[in-house]
């Protein structure tokens, strides 16, 4: 005789679902919003935001997604924008999400920023994004961090959640957005 037990979820005494997720399902989501502005000068990358997740299973994958309002400026309050800003992804202190074909002095970044170096481009704010599937193989807490910076000139600046020009102007053309980083534990 064969017995089959079918349930929608299994819960512990506190009512927390503990084992309903099949392979490919989302076990948990952690997310952080950055609602302030930030200026990063030169070619040194700076921390922008981070999020921590504690996987429930050692074989889980972690999907990292980032949406960043970011732009680059030639100099402070220059109406002409600039190029060469980019974003790096870290798990703890280790940089991840790196292209395997980097040679010489090419920049190892997670994703680049689409900026233009034309008149009035300093008023723009660009939304750039990246996704990465990580396999950390742990049930210990993990912090995923993003850094941003410029890879070309110490005179350029990278701006988060604001345009490079007019950030203090009280005008409707000054757009200030928000950015976020989200991590999802995916069952295997």
Query: What's the CA gap between 39 and 123, in Å, rounded?
Result: 15
- Segment 160-183 mean pLDDT: 87
The pair of three-digit structure tokens given for residue 57, joined into one six-digit string:
């299973």
3-state secondary structure of 134: strand
CATH topology for 26-186 is: Jelly Rolls (2.60.120)
- The pLDDT tens digits for 63-102 are 999 999 988 887 767 777 777 889 999 999 999 999 999 9
Using the predicted structure, report yes or no on whether residue 124 has a pLDDT greater than 80. Answer: no
| Ranges assigned E (strand) in the chain | 26-34, 38-41, 46-53, 61-73, 85-91, 94-96, 111-112, 126-134, 142-150, 157-160, 179-186
pTM: 0.85
- Segment 27-33 mean pLDDT: 96
Domain ranges of the chain: 26-186
- The pLDDT tens digits for 43-64 are 899 999 999 999 999 999 999 9
């Amino acid at each position: 005789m064969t017995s089959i037990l079918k349930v929608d979820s299994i819960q512990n005494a506190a009512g927390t679902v503990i084992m309903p997720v099949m392979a490919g399902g989302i076990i948990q989501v952690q997310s952080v919003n950055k609602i302030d502005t930030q200026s990063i000068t030169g070619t040194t990358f700076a921390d922008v935001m981070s999020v921590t997740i504690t996987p429930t299973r050692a074989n889980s994958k972690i999907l990292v997604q980032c949406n960043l309002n970011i732009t680059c400026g030639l100099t402070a309050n220059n109406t002409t924008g600039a190029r060469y800003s980019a974003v790096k992804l870290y798990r703890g202190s280790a940089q991840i999400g790196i292209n395997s074909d980097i040679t010489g002095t090419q920049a190892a970044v997670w994703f680049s920023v689409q900026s233009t170096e034309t008149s009035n481009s300093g008023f723009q704010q660009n939304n750039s994004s990246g996704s990465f599937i990580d396999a950390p193989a742990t049930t210990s807490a993990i912090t995923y961090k993003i850094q941003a910076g410029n890879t070309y000139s110490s005179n350029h600046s990278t701006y988060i959640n604001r345009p490079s020009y007019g950030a203090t102007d009280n005008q409707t053309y000054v757009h200030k957005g928000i950015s976020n980083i989200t991590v999802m534990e995916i069952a295997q």
